[in-house]
Amino acid sequence: MRATLLTDADWLDARIADTGRRWTCRDRRVNGTLWWYSASSTLLAPATTGLLRAGVAPDPALAHATATLRPDGYLDALHTEATVRGPEQLAAGLRDTLEAIIAALAQASGAGVPALWAIAADSLGNRALDAGAGLGSPAAGSALAVRLAELIGPPLPVPRFVDVGPRRFLRRTSCCLIYRAPAAVAGADPGAADRAKCVSCPHQRPEVRAARLAGL
Is there a domain that residue 70 lies in?
yes
Full pLDDT tens readout for the chain, 216 residues: 999 999 999 999 999 999 999 999 999 999 999 999 999 999 999 999 999 999 999 999 999 899 999 999 999 999 999 999 999 999 999 999 999 999 999 999 999 999 999 999 999 999 999 999 999 999 999 999 999 999 999 999 999 999 988 889 999 999 888 888 887 776 556 566 666 677 777 766 667 666 676 666
Is there a domain that residue 178 lies in?
no
- Domain span including residue 11: 3-159
Cβ proximity of 150 and 68 under 8 Å: no
Q: What is the pLDDT of residue 100?
A: 98
Cβ proximity of 56 and 214 under 8 Å: no
Is there a domain that residue 193 lies in?
no
Is there a domain that residue 177 lies in?
no
2 vs 4: CA distance, rounded Å: 5
Q: What is the pLDDT of residue 52?
A: 95
Which residues touch 90 (CB under 8 Å, ≥6 apart)?
A: 47, 51, 57, 60, 84, 148
Is there a domain that residue 207 lies in?
no
Q: What is the pLDDT of residue 209?
A: 66
Single-letter code of the amino acid located at 196 = A
What is the total count of domains within the chain?
Answer: 1
147 vs 151: CA distance, rounded Å: 6
User: Strand ranges (DSSP E) for the chain?
Assistant: 56-58, 66-69, 75-79, 83-85, 160-164, 167-171
Cβ proximity of 148 and 128 under 8 Å: yes
Is there a domain that residue 34 lies in?
yes
Is there a domain that residue 44 lies in?
yes
pTM metric for this prediction? 0.92
Is there a domain that residue 164 lies in?
no
